[in-house]
Amino acid sequence: MINGAGAGKGGMMSRLALRLQPLLPVIALSLLLAYIGWSQPRALSYFGLNLLLGLSLPVVFCTLAQVFVMAVGDLDLSVGSFVSLVACIGAVILPQNPLLALAALACLVGIYALVGALIQYRKVPSIIMTLGLSFAWTGLALTVLPVPGGKAPEWLSSLVSWKTPLVPAMIWMSLILAAVGHLIIIRSPWGTMVRAAGANPSALERSGWSLVGMKAGVYAAAGACGIMAGLVLVGNTVAANATVANQYTLLSIAAAVLGGAEFAGGRVSPIGAVLGGIIMSIVGSLLIFMNISTDWQVATQGVVLIGILGLQFLLQRFSGTPRA
């Protein structure tokens, strides 16, 4: 009786741990917002949320770009430099020659797709290829905009600052991105194949699928998300510089892992990635409410990430512990 009751209780706790794992980003975000609301109630008003989440959308787009790449078991160390380059194009070329800017952005997506194909075809580790690519993106950004400056077109700034009813546009966009990302990566046949390419590429290749073409498509999707991140960023900041988003590389990796992605490939969560991107973005704002210097922003983001990942690890160990 006692053993049976203990086993039943252990099984129930194990199931509870399994259910809590995907909810950790939601819990973490809720706690952060609760603390900010307790410290400064006006921060949760329409205007306060608009300020608090103002720069979250570029990070969310950047995180989704990283999620596409992580889904096939790769890692992109160039996405921050890529977003900076897009921001420079948006601040210099887009206002004067929109058609040239669109052509340049389309070429960048094509280059991203080519890089993905080369990574698979030549069996080059993605970390090495994308690290080298990051220097290329930075060089191009310095060519477009040697010194900080430029100016985003009025229509882009107006679009980014568009005020939506009930809640800020950032919240609506996050909901839409989470839903679209889930449909593409989790629910669509193409997304299933992408995750299969990350989990068991040999089996997918034996089934007749081209891994070279698969990775080209994945990197092209990541490039498209990076372009959206850069355009939204320059629309928010109005001007740009060649290194404006370099920190997004590590932020996107941290946010993706925080949202449930794994480096082994095949396991990603677009909804969790959106939440992770928002969490990593508002941690800097949290320092203001705690009267802590923003010089500690990176360290605080690291502490939050380590804490949540540590809790995820404990829940995984607990839920996977064999029960008698």
Helix residue ranges per DSSP H, the chain:
2-20, 24-39, 46-52, 56-71, 79-96, 98-121, 126-144, 154-160, 169-181, 189-199, 201-206, 211-237, 248-258, 270-289, 297-320
Q: Is 281 helix (H, G, I), strand (E, B) or coil?
A: helix
8-state DSSP, 42: G
The Cα–Cα gap between 38 and 54 comes to: 20
pTM of the predicted structure, to 2 decimals:
0.88
* Of the candidates 27, 48, 270, the residue with the CA atom closest to the CA atom of residue 167: 48
Give the span between the Cα atoms of 261 and 186, in whole angstroms. Answer: 13
Contact indicator for 270, 64 with CB cutoff of 8 Å? yes
How far apart, in whole angstroms, are the C-alpha atoms of residue 274 and residue 175? 8
Q: What is the pLDDT of residue 206?
A: 82
- Mapping DSSP to helix (H, G, I), strand (E, B) and coil, where does residue 259 land? coil
pLDDT of residue 300: 66
Give SS3 for 163. coil
Q: Name which of 127, 2, 120 is nearest 76 in CA terms.
A: 127
Q: What residues are paired with 149 via a beta bridge?
A: 240
Boundaries of every domain in the chain: 23-310
Q: Give phi and psi for 240, each to the nearest 5.
A: -155, 170
Please work out, in degrees rounded to the nearest 5, the angle formed at the alpha carbon of residue 194 by the alpha carbons of 188 and 199: 125
Instruction: Just give the CATH number of 23-310.
Output: 1.10.3470
> In the prediction, which pLDDT does 31 show?
82
Query: Digits of tens for pLDDT over the chain (324 positions)?
Result: 445 554 455 555 556 555 656 677 777 788 888 887 887 777 777 777 777 777 889 999 999 999 999 999 999 999 999 999 999 999 999 999 999 999 999 999 999 999 999 999 988 899 999 999 999 999 999 999 999 888 888 988 888 888 888 888 888 898 999 999 999 999 999 988 989 888 888 887 788 788 899 999 999 999 999 999 999 999 888 888 999 888 899 889 888 888 888 877 778 889 989 998 898 888 766 666 666 665 666 666 667 667 766 766 666 666 554 433
